[in-house]
């Protein structure tokens, strides 16, 4: 996994056994843009977004796509949360084949792009449907491009997730969230040295304390609407008690024990486009069954209790407009609903 690359269990397991966890650099960082300057122009229906609902990096793209109304323009494939030695696979689809790409493993799209490529096979990934080739796995840039380069294909009333006037502040906040929270939980979880684990864990909770203080007086991280910064923090918070608290030993306290962050996370979860993309079943089974270096028994815990995600949060009192001058997304498209096993 890398600074610009999503989840790859093989690399995560390989990292276990080293004292500290470090992400490698992304190998495929092409961009799909309005002017097609990398050779990949924005075009409705041309590309397929491959994700795992278990992966926090992929979940950013799933949430952004839904909030912006890009479901028809950018169709989505959902992989099995459990990987084998060839990584992400399409065993949730009939016959174990992605119905559009016609492949069993995401690795086949990587190989079509560059045979024998270095590095792991990660999600999110954008695949060019006509050629079957991987376009990009640069999850950091992907959601920014969905918000900006894909604007002509946004739904009517789509929010501005990366407003130009706030980009410097969003980038600054998101950088701290990434270093200490998004990636910090992994550095704590995969550390095999006490010193390295302690430093990562302290970084996680130090940053969470700062974020809690910031959010005590404002509904959203930057400005008065939902932005890219909120999406990036949410995907870690929603997994915190389910996997990071126990599995990654980030157990100074639970999310539910921080009054501000727990209310903030519930507020977002109950906002259309957030909670309706979260599959707790996929999340738990992936982390506990794939990371065998951390959990060799592969036992998936029964808890935590999830009903609290649907309780009142009271954050409306802080004001703010979730979608700015826009509107919430419509119903979840048929076939993309989270199964009952993954919901509170």
Phi, psi of 337 (to 5 degrees): -65, 140
Q: What is the 3-state secondary structure (H, E, C) of 7-58?
A: ECHHHHHHHECECCCCCECCCCECCCECCCCCCCECCCCCEEEEECCCCHHH
Collapsing DSSP to helix, strand or coil, 135 comes out as strand
How far apart are the C-alpha atoms of 99 and 125, rounded to whole Å?
16
Q: What is the pLDDT of residue 27?
A: 78
d(CA 294, CA 337): 31
Q: Which part of the chain is CATH 3.40.30.10?
A: 9-153
List Cβ neighbours of 6 (8 Å cut-off, separation of 6 or more).
55, 57, 58, 122, 123, 124, 125, 137, 139
Q: Is 150 flagged in the annotation as binding?
A: no
Say if residues 161 and 155 touch (Cβ distance below 8 Å): no
- pLDDT value at residue 2: 33
* Stretch(es) of the chain classified as CATH 1.20.1050.10: 165-342
What does the pLDDT read at residue 3? 34
Architecture of domain 165-342: Up-down Bundle (1.20)
Question: pTM score, two decimals?
Answer: 0.94
Angle between helices 139-148 and 56-68 (to 10 degrees): 0
Say what the pLDDT of residue 323 is. Answer: 98
HSE at residue 314, side-chain half, CA atoms within 13 A, is 7
CATH 3.40.30.10 at 9-153, yes or no: yes
d(CA 334, CA 161): 25
Residue numbers annotated as active site: 55, 186
| Structure-token match 């590309």, residue found | 47
pLDDT tens digits in sequence order for the chain, 344 residues long: 333 345 545 445 545 455 655 544 557 999 999 999 999 999 999 999 999 999 999 999 999 999 999 999 999 999 999 999 999 999 999 999 999 999 999 999 999 999 998 889 999 999 999 999 999 999 999 999 999 999 999 999 999 999 999 999 999 999 999 999 999 999 999 999 999 999 999 999 999 999 999 999 999 999 999 999 999 999 999 999 999 999 999 999 999 999 999 999 999 999 999 999 999 999 999 999 999 999 999 999 999 999 999 999 999 999 999 999 999 999 999 999 999 999 99
């Amino acid at each position: 996994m890398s600074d610009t690359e999503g989840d790859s269990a093989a690399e995560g397991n390989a990292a276990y056994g080293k004292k500290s966890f470090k992400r490698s650099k992304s190998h495929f960082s092409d961009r799909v843009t309005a002017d097609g300057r990398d050779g990949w122009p924005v075009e409705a229906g041309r590309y397929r977004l491959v994700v795992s609902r278990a992966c926090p990096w992929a979940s950013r793209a799933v949430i952004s796509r839904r909030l912006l109304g890009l479901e028809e323009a950018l169709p989505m494939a959902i992989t099995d949360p459990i990987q084998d030695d060839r990584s992400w696979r399409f065993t949730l689809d009939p016959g174990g084949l992605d119905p559009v790409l016609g492949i069993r493993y995401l690795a086949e799209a990587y190989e079509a792009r560059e045979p024998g490529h270095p590095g792991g096979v990660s999600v999110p990934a954008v695949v060019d449907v006509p050629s079957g080739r991987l376009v990009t796995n640069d999850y950091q840039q992907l959601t920014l491009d969905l918000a900006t380069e894909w604007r002509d294909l946004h739904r009517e009333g789509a929010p501005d997730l990366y407003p130009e006037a706030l980009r410097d502040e969003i980038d600054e906040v998101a950088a701290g969230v990434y270093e200490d929270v998004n990636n910090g939980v992994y550095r704590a979880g995969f550390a095999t040295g006490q010193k390295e684990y302690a430093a990562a864990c302290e970084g996680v909770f130090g940053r969470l304390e700062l974020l809690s203080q910031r959010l005590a007086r404002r509904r959203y991280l930057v400005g008065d609407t939902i932005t890219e910064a909120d999406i990036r923090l949410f995907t870690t918070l929603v997994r915190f008690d389910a996997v990071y608290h126990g599995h990654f030993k980030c157990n100074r306290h639970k999310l539910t024990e921080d009054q501000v962050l727990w209310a903030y996370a519930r507020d977002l979860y109950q906002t259309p486009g957030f909670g309706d993309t979260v599959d707790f079943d996929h999340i738990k089974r992936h982390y506990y069954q794939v990371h065998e270096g951390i959990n060799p028994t592969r036992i998936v815990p029964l808890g935590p209790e999830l009903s609290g995600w649907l309780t009142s949060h009271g954050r409306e009192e802080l004001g703010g407009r979730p979608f700015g001058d826009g509107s919430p997304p419509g119903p979840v498209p048929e076939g993309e609903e989270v199964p009952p096993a993954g919901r509170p």
